[in-house]
Amino acid sequence: MWAVAPLLLLLLLLPLARLCRRGAARLEPAGRAVLITGCDSGFGHLLALRLHRLGFTVFAGCLCPGGDGARRLQREAGGAGRLRVLRLDVTRARDVRAAKELVLSHLPERGFWGLVNNAGISTFGETGWLPMETYEKFADVNLLGSIRTTLAFLPLLRKYKGRIVFMSSIIAYFTLGNGIYSMTKAAIEKFCDALRLEMKKFGVQVCIIQPGNYARSTKIQPLLSAEQIWSELSEEEKAVYNKEYVQERANFFNSILSEGSTNGNEVVDAMVDALTSPAPKARYMVAKLKEKVLVFVCALFPTVVMDSVLSYALSK
């Protein structure tokens, strides 16, 4: 019993310590640099503009720096100044090296404060429907891309005791037809858990953002037609599944996408807090109540219960 007492005392003191830290002054953005990946559209685009308006020096990594999204970002930020758009394909080591060289050559007086690993891709499809090349691509963008960028910027983050923010998803806990995306998000969560503990001794804080369904706020997942899915299936898969089944699954997944929130700023609010709060959370779950309940069931109930819930959802 006496051995448990220190643990109970710690659990009681932690909320108090957190409240005290939250009462501390928020970060002063001026003179601090942040690099964001995936700024062509979606959360990355919104975050780049928000941080620029707050006073940060923003390096906005775009897959297509000459594309409509990047040009719009520059216009909305008012042209040149504290926001720089750069080419950054997180699957290319040379792009990551070039991004680091650019950041080093344009560091403001307070140095490098934050890295936001936001770039990601998504698709729909049952496990056997997707070729190995697709699995490799998703792992390279969603998982290895974030790791590649993080490793490159760790020395700067340790030097300036900065922040690292990763974009995950509630889909890290369960899957409804997009297991390939769920797989990469579950993996990045474990990478973050290890990194967060290791970085504490350097004063670097690691945060995970876990959005619910915000499909209508981003371009990460377009609607898919049954014909498109069917045309890409192997002959072996076509022998197992018929077009009617593929149509049912496409309708189901597209209906989920159509229910997504259009208010991407809710997610951006969490990202900003992770970068500026004196006491950021390890995880920010930004989701509807029913989505949080689903995560709760998945985390605390036996797998057989969750399988039953998801199987019921899929059957409907």
In 3D space, the residue among 43, 151, 120, 38 whose CA is nearest the CA of residue 85 turns out to be 38
**Number of helices followed by number of strands (H, E) in the chain:** 13, 7
| Dihedral sign for Cα atoms in the order 139, 143, 145, 147 | negative
Q: At what angle do helices 179-199 and 145-160 cross, to 10 degrees?
A: 20
How far is 172 from 188, CA to CA, in rounded Å?
9
**Domains (range + CATH), the chain:** 28-222+263-289 (3.40.50.720)
Residues of the chain under the 50 pLDDT cut: 1, 17, 20
Residues 20-41 as b/e (b if ≥16 CB within 10 A, e otherwise) read eeeeeeebebeebbbbbbbbbb
Determine contact, residues 37/61, Cβ cutoff 8 Å. yes
Burial class (CB in 10 A: 0-12, 13-18, 19+), 79: exposed
Query: Is residue 181 annotated as a catalytic residue, yes or no?
Result: yes
Please say whether the beta carbons of 45 and 22 come within 8 A.
Answer: no
> 148 burial class (0-12, 13-18, 19+ CB within 10 angstroms)?
middle
Write the CA distances from 291 to 53, 137, 223, 257, integer angstroms: 31, 28, 21, 14
**By CB neighbour count within 10 A (0-12 exposed, 13-18 middle, 19+ buried), where does 173 fall?**
buried
Catalytic residue among 181, 214, 245, 312: 181
What are the C-alpha distances in Å from 44 to residues 30, 206, 296?
20, 18, 28
Distance between CA 177 and CA 91 in Å, rounded?
Answer: 25
pLDDT per residue over 242-262, tens digit each? 999 999 999 989 998 999 999
pTM: 0.90
- pLDDT of amino acid 287: 97
| 136 touches 122 (CB < 8 A) | no
Rounded Cα–Cα distance for residues 234 and 133 (Å)? 13
**Residue 1 confidence (pLDDT):** 46
Residue where the block lists tokens 């499809």: 125
